[in-house]
Chains A and B, each alone.
Chain A
């Protein structure tokens, strides 16, 4: 009995192997992958807090152009541009569309407008130089109501932007951020900063500190001058 089974098994072995080979040839026969394909490491909560702080540090220098803008070089009345000076950590150009009568109002000069659309050009983000040789590219698309008498701009809800550094990208949105010409930092308001599943809210209070709210609790105090995060 064993001999018969062995005989049958050997007879069927070759056709079986041929069948396997045939199936593989027709269904594709690439090998298993052997090269490493590691995922990008997930950012920690602290990493996202730092990203938020970097945005918080530089934002005033951008937004204050809504109320402190001084034209230089060629100016198109329909759409001003501002090129950040060489000594700034920010490189690039923002576009400023000043109007009177709000969003659908008429074009106006920078010192008469009550509304501004401040934005970076398509494919031309600002580049923010960070300490230790790092950098991030940042886009803005925000609108603000301007009060010329007090040199105040209030960023409209719905204004937004993006923050990209290497393989990591984030989005942010503004909540009634108030910027006053001459102040080093926004007077009030907040930025919702989202990276992946992590959302951090940066709350301005008019001085060189801000609070970072993570998951609904105060988690960090930020010194916007020194860039030091202090866990609460």
Chain B
């Protein structure tokens, strides 16, 4: 790679890293996700952040390929940026979680004599809900509300959860292509150090299954993203794809089996306790369909991922 290319790729990575972190550290006037979560307990945090928790993995597993065509001889390489967004259900802008037969004093800073057991109803805007309205936690005993406290507003009002990542690939030997997504570790001040690594391999089967009218490929990709002490995510995808080249354009599609998980850790302001919980992604498979345009060394693609969580992805790659 030429030295001049390296000069602008480095700042590009920083920009992309910031894009990737935007969904974690996006700020309202003076709040970040971490600032908001620190004001609520674990049960509230799970409900509040659930759209983010369940969108992140499918986002990470998007944009895995733009063609099934990988040469069996002749080196290819590419580098560029992938951007993706999960289209969340409109109902996910609010949530309600109920807990029955729980000690009420665990949910209020005004203890009730005898610490009776009762019902908790908590809810309000999720992370992607109304940023002007606070949620609430209410305690019920004997059918009446015995306390109610305001909680936190949404962080960003949107139905789309964005993510962006840099990507490089190298292939052309026996139909194999290796792909790498990587951020060097970056200190993001109060959010701590952020790092990202993803890698995978794709194999084109046309060298074995000859004379097919389309290209066929199978592959896998695994990745992890860590945002300070707050988030630690992992995602894996095992996929099979087909594509058909039409001069300037390539149509492609495929099926993937995937999984993801996210661990959230923070300190609860109310009692100083450490809160940590993990959530497994709900999406286990997806169909992908997309198209890419090939303009000399530039490849521009757009695709849709269809699963429990639907995603849109686009990429701008340079290379041969």
Q: Which residues of A contact B (CB under 8 A)?
A: 6-7, 10-11, 13-14, 17-18, 20-21, 24-25, 29-41, 43-44, 46-48, 50-51, 54, 130, 132-136, 165-168, 195
Is the pair A50, B54 in contact by a Cβ cutoff of 8 Å? Answer: no
Counting residue pairs across A and B whose Cβ atoms lie within 8 Å, the total is: 157
CB distance from B105 to the nearest CB of A (A): 11
Determine the chain B residues whose CB is within 8 A of the CB of A47 once the complex forms. Answer: 142-143
Q: How far is the CA of A97 from the CA of B116 in the complex (A)?
A: 43
Is the pair A35, B94 in contact by a Cβ cutoff of 8 Å? Answer: yes
What are 28 A-B pairs at a CB distance below 8 A? A7-B213, A13-B214, A14-B243, A17-B254, A17-B287, A17-B288, A17-B289, A18-B289, A20-B289, A24-B306, A30-B310, A33-B91, A34-B50, A34-B51, A34-B89, A35-B95, A36-B97, A39-B98, A40-B98, A40-B121, A41-B119, A41-B121, A51-B142, A51-B143, A54-B144, A130-B146, A134-B147, A136-B144
Q: Is B235 among interface residues, defined by CB-CB distance under 8 A?
A: no
Is the pair A31, B310 in contact by a Cβ cutoff of 8 Å? Answer: yes
Contact of B86 among A6, A31, A35 (CB under 8 A): A31
Q: How far is the CA of A21 from the CA of B289 in the complex (A)?
A: 7
* With A34-B88, A36-B46, A134-B146 already in contact, 15 other A-B pairs whose C-beta atoms are closer than 8 Å: A10-B214, A17-B287, A18-B251, A18-B253, A20-B287, A29-B304, A34-B89, A37-B96, A38-B97, A38-B98, A132-B112, A132-B113, A134-B141, A135-B144, A165-B144
Is the pair B87, A166 in contact by a Cβ cutoff of 8 Å? Answer: no
Mark contacts of B76-103 with chain A using CB atoms, 8 A cut-off: 1 yes-contact digit, 0 otherwise: 0000000000111111111111101000
A-B pairs with lowest CB-CB distance, top 4: A47-B143, A166-B145, A17-B253, A50-B142
Q: Is the interface of B mostly helix, strand, loop or mixed?
A: strand
Is the pair B242, A14 in contact by a Cβ cutoff of 8 Å? Answer: yes
CB distance from B303 to the nearest CB of A (A): 9
Known: A7-B212, A7-B213. A21 touches B51 (CB 8 A): no
Q: Is B117 among interface residues, defined by CB-CB distance under 8 A?
A: no
Q: How far is the CA of A6 from the CA of B252 in the complex (A)?
A: 17
Q: Is the interface of A mostly helix, strand, loop or mixed?
A: mixed
Is the pair B145, A165 in contact by a Cβ cutoff of 8 Å? Answer: yes
Contact of A46 among B87, B140, B142 (CB under 8 A): B142
Is the pair B144, A30 in contact by a Cβ cutoff of 8 Å? Answer: no
Determine the chain A residues whose CB is within 8 A of the CB of B304 once the complex forms. Answer: 21, 24-25, 29
Q: Is B292 among interface residues, defined by CB-CB distance under 8 A?
A: no
Is the pair B98, A41 in contact by a Cβ cutoff of 8 Å? Answer: yes
Contact of B144 among A34, A41, A130 (CB under 8 A): A130
Residue of A nearest to B212 (CB): A10
